[in-house]
């Protein structure tokens, strides 16, 4: 697994498709992920530390996880199939690891809210970077 960080958020309110860019924490490789507008806003709010008077969806998910005496340990973008990324949210609850299937955008929104590490499987990063180099 390769440790990544959020490098860029590109929000265009006139489009349904937004872009975030993940970059290797200790390297130069990076890649974009197309996400929805609501997820982009959630990530942007978390990065900027903007709170809302009532919990929005990603806030609610964090509250439910904490209410169950669990915590998000890391998120992992673990697969790429048919140009679609897949992710897992890795929780720790009572000393046990729990993996939750997730869209990368939702997992990254949670990670940004709780300053949780973001990882990508080596095979995914290599596939994405090889594809970009072949364009």
Q: What is the mean pLDDT of residues 17-34?
A: 94
Both tokens of 40, joined, read: 């982009």
Q: Global pTM?
A: 0.91
Sheet (strand 84-93) strand order: 30-36, 17-24, 2-10, 118-120, 70-81, 84-93, 96-102
Per residue in 55-92, pLDDT tens? Answer: 899 899 999 999 999 999 999 999 999 999 999 999 99
Q: What is the mean pLDDT of residues 87-103?
A: 96
Output the pLDDT for position 131.
Answer: 67
Tell me the CATH number for domain 2-133: 3.10.690.10
Per residue in 80-90, pLDDT tens? Answer: 999 999 999 99
Domain ranges, ordered by start, for the chain: 2-133
């Amino acid at each position: 697994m390769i440790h990544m960080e959020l490098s860029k958020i590109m929000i265009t309110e006139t489009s349904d498709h937004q872009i975030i860019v993940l970059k290797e924490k200790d390297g130069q490789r990076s890649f974009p992920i197309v996400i929805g507008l609501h997820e982009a806003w959630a990530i942007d709010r978390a990065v900027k530390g903007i709170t809302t008077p009532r919990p929005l969806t990603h806030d609610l998910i964090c509250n439910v996880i904490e209410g169950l005496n669990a915590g998000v340990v890391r998120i992992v973008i673990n697969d790429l199939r048919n140009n679609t990324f897949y992710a897992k949210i890795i929780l720790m609850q009572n000393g046990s690891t729990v993996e939750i299937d997730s869209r990368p955008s939702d997992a990254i929104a949670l990670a940004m809210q709780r300053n949780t590490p973001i990882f990508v499987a080596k095979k995914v990063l290599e596939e994405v970077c090889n594809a970009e180099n072949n364009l």
